[in-house]
Amino acid sequence: MIKAGIVGGTGYTGVELLRLLAQHPEVVITAITSRKEAGMKVAEMFPSLRGRVDLAFTTPDEAPLKSCDVVFFATPNGVAMQQTRELLDAGVKVIDLAADFRITDIAEWSKWYGMEHACPDLVAEAVYGLPEINRDKVKGARLIANPGCYPTAVQLGFLPLVEAGVIDTSWMVADCKSGVSGAGRKAEIGALYAEAGDSFKAYAVPGHRHQPEIRQGLARMAGHDVGLTFVPHLLPLIRGIHATLYAKLTKDVDLQALFEQRYAGEYFVDVLPANGHPETRSVRASNLCRIAVHRPQGGDTVVVLSVIDNLVKGASGQAVQNMNILFGLAENMGLTQIPVSP
C-alpha cells in the first residue's frame, strides 16, 4: 500500500483528495495537516467522509510526513517550496497542487506570485504533471508540479492543433469560465452566494497568473514562443470549467480525425462526435476532460470546446493520476467514477 500524506487538508482540493484517496485500493492515508484545525476529526469537518476517513488533523510539525511514500500539498502558493526539499531528502515523492514549481522562469514566477522563490533549483527538477504530454517524465520524477485548472483545460484543447502545426500560434484566444470553487475555500465577498449567483462576469483581463503557465506549456508544444489572449470569467456554479478556444488554421485538415487520433489512447480525454457541445455537468466529480472541435461555416477559424471539473481533472484527480503513474499503477486506478448527473 502507498502511504500518502496531505498538507492542507481543509480546502476544496484537500477534501477532494481525501474523497479520491479514501476510495483508492492501493492507498492508505496516514497524515492530514491543518494548523488551525489540529485535533479535529476530519469527518467532523467533512461529514461526507464519515466511516471512510478516521484520522484527525495534525500540525505539519507533528504529522509523520517523512514516513510517507508521497505527500500532496493542497496549500496556498508559497507553502510547498518551504517544505519540499526536506521531504525529498527523506525519500518522499512530492506532488504540489499549487503553483510553486510550475513556471520554470523564476523571475516570471516571482512577478506573478509576488514572492521570492525558496528553492529555484528544485523548479528546474520538477516535472510538469500533465500526463497527456509528460507521462514518460512523470514516471521517473521525485517532484510533480500539478497543473492549474485553467491551464489543464486550455492546453488539452489546443494540444492536437499545436502539435500538428496547423494553426497560427502567434494568435490564440482562450475564453474561459470557472465555477466559484476555483477561488478556494475562503471567505471573500465575490464568492458569496448573493454576489456570485444570478450573475456572470469577466475578471483579471489585464493579466491572470495562469497566463504564463499556459503560454509556457503551449510554447513547449510548439517549440517556440506563442501569442495568447486569456480571459477568465466567473460562473454562478460550484464546479466546472468551460474553455472556448479560438485559433486561425494555416493548413486544411480533418479536425475531427486529428483530435480523435491524438486522444485515442487517453482514458481521461473524451473527444465528442462532430458538432458536439460538451457541458460542465457532463464531467462533474470526474477526472474527465471532454472536448469538441468545430470549424464554423467552413472558414479558417477553429473553435475548440473543452470542459473539466476544476477540482478533479483541474486539481486533485490529476494529482492522483500522477501518483498512479509515479508508482507504476494503472493510470485510472481510483479514478473511474462516473460523472454526477443531475
What's the rounded Cα separation, in Å, for the pair 292 and 197?
28
Q: Which of 68, 119, 149, 176 is catalytic?
A: 149
149 is catalytic: yes
Residue from 319, 326, 256, 312 nearest 283 by CA: 312
**Burial bucket for residue 85 (CB in 10 Å: 0-12, 13-18, 19+):** middle
Beta strand 2-7 pairing with 27-33: parallel
Cell 502539435 maps to which residue? Answer: 163
* Selection from 236, 209, 218 nearest residue 76 by Cα: 209
Give the Cα separation of 78 and 82 in Å (integer).
7
**Distance (Å, rounded) from C-alpha 194 to C-alpha 202?**
17
Task: Give buried/exposed letters for 155-171 (b at 16+ CB in 10 A, else e).
Answer: bbbbbbbbeeebbebee
Beta-carbon-side half-sphere exposure of residue 71 (alpha carbons within 13 Å): 27
Residue 342, preceding peptide bond in cis (omega within 30° of 0): yes
Euclidean distance between CA atoms 292 and 306, whole angstroms: 7
Nearest CA-CA partner of 322 in 47, 136, 168 = 136
Active site residues: 149
